[in-house]
Amino acid sequence: MGHGRTTVRTSAAGAVCAALLAGGVVGLAPAAQAAPSVRFVDITGDGGTVLKANVVTPEGADGTHAYPLIVLPTSWGLPQAEYLAQAQKLADSGYVVLTYNVRGFWQSGGEIEVAGPPDIADASKVIDWALDHTPSDPRHIGMAGVSYGAGISLLAAAHDKRIKAVAALSGWADLISSIYSGRTQHVQAGALLDGAGLVTGHESPELRQIFDNFYASNLSKEQEMIDWGRKRSVATYVDQLNRNGAAVMLANAWGDTIFPANQYADFYEKLTVPKRLEMRPGDHATAELTGLFGLPNDVWTDTGRWFDHYLKGVGNGIDREQPVQLKSRSTDGYEGYPDWKSVGATRRKIALAGSSTIHANVDSGADGGIVFLSSILDQVAQLPPMASIPLLPRRWAAVWQSERYGAPQRVRGTATLHTTLTPTKESGTLIAYLYDVGPLGFGKLVTNAPYTWYGRTPGEPFGVDLDLFSTAYDVPAGHRLALVVDTVDPLYIEHNPSGAQLTFSSPSDDPSYVSVPLREQ
């Protein structure tokens, strides 16, 4: 069912592993600066597993004064030196900071559990060790991390009441909706995680089987995979997290190809604790990257402010700011909102009129780009994936366009697609793309999302409702928005049988449309 995705998976994994290894080596650079105040230690985690860690304490700490504790689990595939630059800054401002290599990676023992119960138990063991061996204040404990470290921090806060504040940067709340949204495998994302795990760690047999079933589209194991992912998703434990009361800061990038922005936004709305949501341009962990080298970085600055207020009681005003802070992919500066639903305060529908039939199994030229590379280009040069909309072959792509807008359209939030689909086969995949189309017909990708179905009766229409990935993008005056739908994208595994055709229609009693969320003008 993967239709030749093996080559893509292998090459993506190789490239990403090389990048992660290079990043891990470079990430050691700040250690030279931080070395005088760093102590490298071994900590016994759950089941006796040895975790490699380092401790940074405030200058002059002599055991007569207790300091707030911040615990930083490492990112997927990166060594314990990852956070040393930020650990030094936090220690300089009065924190005991303990960073540790999560089980299964680098020199830590055990196998990769993907934030499973042993990882959650490890976090509590690390806190126990810090309280016994450092001048840490048990009443003021925080956790933070990037990517894997973010996910573990959130899960730990849901299970350990001692954690009073969390900063989860480029993490996940729902693992399944991140890499299996719309019942579609995000194959480049999976390959990145798998490749990095193979090179820098020791995958557990359970994880190896999950990856194998994921690539093979093994539907008999689908529910098993979903259950495995739910156990590792803090969204499953949101009630516990709310009861425990830890203040939660979430930060992510609009173009995150590992953990899309939607799942963080959905989770944010379910939190009843003190909370903050920050969204910026970029891809997975790229918004935090410069901070790992000790350079100025607004994500890490806000992380410090979050801990200063909720662990040290500093009146820095972060609790009085609008809790949702967004930066558009098109403009500088941040926009504040009282909640997520206020982000796209108004919606404009683009009618998807008429009937359009496309043939499956061929990439039309519309696609979501390449994991990491495309969103980084968008972040640094505002160059997202592009396509010539007039030249897209209508045999393989369905295209609808809005009128030309007389004023800028500030897209904010989650666009939704509603249409009626009639397939000629019982299973299949479609990918929906929203483009900003200029006067010459060149479209810049605004957002996209995949959708897969099984067990449908050929020739029988059914309704499709699909949330595209959340974003913030400004469409210039004089441009149009275009919705494009095709069936193949390198980011995803598609499930279209040979010879399949898809017909999109707009019945009079149930018209098709794409609903675009807009910031109030």
Q: In 3D, which of 189, 177, 120 has the Cα closest to residue 152?
A: 120
Q: Which residues of the chain have pLDDT under 70?
A: 1-36, 521
Beta-strand ranges (E) seen in 147-203 are 163-169
Q: In 3D, which of 402, 405, 420, 389 has the Cα closest to residue 515?
A: 402
Structure tokens at 369: 């780009």
Q: Which amino acid is at 454?
A: Y
Could you identify the residue written with the tokens 């399949």? Answer: 500
Separation CA 174–CA 151 (nearest Å): 9
- pLDDT computed for residue 521 by the predictor: 67
Measured from the Cβ of residue 232, the count of other Cβ atoms closer than 10 Å reads 21
Q: Which amino acid is at 251?
A: A
Could you identify the residue written with the tokens 């999976």? Answer: 190
Inter-CA distances, 461 with 190, 368, 419, 456, Å: 32, 27, 10, 9
The three-point CA angle 501-512-263 to 5° equals 90
Q: In 3D, which of 157, 143, 3, 134 has the Cα closest to residue 67?
A: 134
Measured from the Cβ of residue 429, the count of other Cβ atoms closer than 10 Å reads 26
Burial of 86 (0-12, 13-18, 19+ CB in 10 A): buried
Separation CA 493–CA 43 (nearest Å): 40
Inter-CA distances, 416 with 451, 467, 502, Å: 12, 5, 19
CB distance 448 to 471 below 8 Å? no
Burial of 35 (0-12, 13-18, 19+ CB in 10 A): exposed
Q: Which helix (H) or strand (E) holds 456?
A: none
Could you identify the residue written with the tokens 């994991």? Answer: 371
The phi and psi torsions of 215 (rounded to 5 degrees) equal: -65, -35
Diameter of the chain by CA atoms? 76
Structure tokens at 171: 């993490």
Cα 214 off chain centre by: 19
Separation CA 156–CA 298 (nearest Å): 25
Measured from the Cβ of residue 351, the count of other Cβ atoms closer than 10 Å reads 12
**Each residue of 8-33: b (16+ CB within 10 Å) or e?**
bbeebbebbbeebbebbeebeebeee
Structure tokens at 260: 């899309």
pLDDT in tens, 493-510: 999 999 999 999 999 999
CB distance 72 to 87 below 8 Å? yes
Q: In 3D, which of 289, 243, 287, 244 has the Cα closest to residue 264?
A: 287
Q: Which DSSP string do the residues of 335-352 spell out, in sequence order?
A: EEESSGGGTT-EEEEEE-
CA atoms within 13 A on the CB side of 201: 31
